[in-house]
Amino acid sequence: QSALTQPPSASGSPGQSVTISCTGTSSDVGAYNYVSWYQQHPGKAPKLMIYEVTKRPSGVPDRFSGSKSGNTASLTVSGLQAEDEADYYCSSFAGSNNFELFGGGTKLTVL
Amino acid sequence: QITLKESGPTLVKPTQTVTLTCTVAGLSLSTNGVSVGWIRQPPGKALEWLALIYWDDDKRYSPSLKSRLAITKDTSKNQVVLTMTNMDPVDTATYYCAHRHRAWDAFDIWGQGTMVTVSS
């Protein structure tokens, strides 16, 4: 099973909004509402930002939001701040055989 | 507070077998619903899910690596162990263990990771 497809990079100025896409197939993203997004700063472990497509764990700012349409999920970061500059990875449950797929990652730059 | 910490060798030779240990605190691995997984990340590259073990000893493996992986747990030590055989330089990566939230189906708590380099 191939990894989920993300754009390698995205950017925006402070205060702006940016959206990162994550494209899968009807066997993973399109089949389940178990899409997650992780933020990873250099040299650090990933941090869960979004689960079940749209939900935020406690402590994650509401500037981060998720959505899904068909086989493509999206992460939107509103009101960009300098600390949002990081790598972002999507993941999706892919059934009992493939279980979990990650995207290739998107490097978000705050200009 | 749940914490996970990975440990293992930092350098292994090609063809060798590596054993990585994830020590879990703040949560019993025998508690109903608990699961812990392993994810790796080669330098500068993306995350890749490897394996997962449930409280009831059910296991899941990445299809592409299934023949080389074995995941087990020691409930007396509250540890999850990942064994990977026939190591190759392409397996050089940071290996993370992470707690999978039962209801969210997401990895909500991660260890700090342990770097494994495969080189002769």
> What span, in angstroms and rounded, lies between the C-alpha atoms of B6 and B29?
15
Of A81, A70, A69, whose CA–CA distance to A39 is shortest? A81
Cα A89–chain centre separation: 5
Q: Using one digit for the tens of pLDDT, what is the confidence trace for B12-49?
A: 999 999 999 999 999 999 999 999 999 999 999 999 99
Task: Using 50 as the pLDDT threshold, list the residues of chain A that sit under it.
Answer: none
Best interface-test mutation with B: which of A34, A58, A99 has the largest number of B CBs within 10 A? Answer: A99
pLDDT value, residue A99: 87
The angle subtended at Cα A107 by Cα A95 and Cα B102, nearest 5°, is 30
Compute how many other C-beta atoms are within 10 angstroms of the C-beta atom of residue B98: 26
Q: Decide if A41 touches B, using CB distance below 8 A.
A: no
Q: Using one digit for the tens of pLDDT, what is the confidence trace for A48-70?
A: 999 999 999 999 999 999 999 99
**Are A98 and B63 inside 8 Å of each other by CB?**
yes
> What span, in angstroms and rounded, lies between the C-alpha atoms of B96 and B69?
15
Percent of chain B at pLDDT > 70 equals 100
pLDDT value, residue A97: 76
pLDDT value, residue A1: 54
pLDDT value, residue A96: 81
Taking CA–CA distances from B64, the nearest residue in chain A reads A1
- Tell me which long-range contacts A68-72 makes (C-beta under 8 A, separation of at least 24): A68/A29, A68/A33, A68/A35, A70/A30, A71/A23, A71/A24, A71/A25, A71/A26, A71/A28, A71/A29, A71/A30, A72/A21, A72/A22, A72/A23, A72/A24, A72/A29
pLDDT value, residue A31: 95
Tracing tokens 């730059």 back to the chain, one arrives at A109
First and final CA of chain A: distance in angstroms?
35
**Are A91 and B105 inside 8 Å of each other by CB?**
no
Arithmetic mean of pLDDT over chain B:
97
pLDDT value, residue A2: 65
**Are B46 and A104 inside 8 Å of each other by CB?**
yes
pLDDT value, residue A3: 87
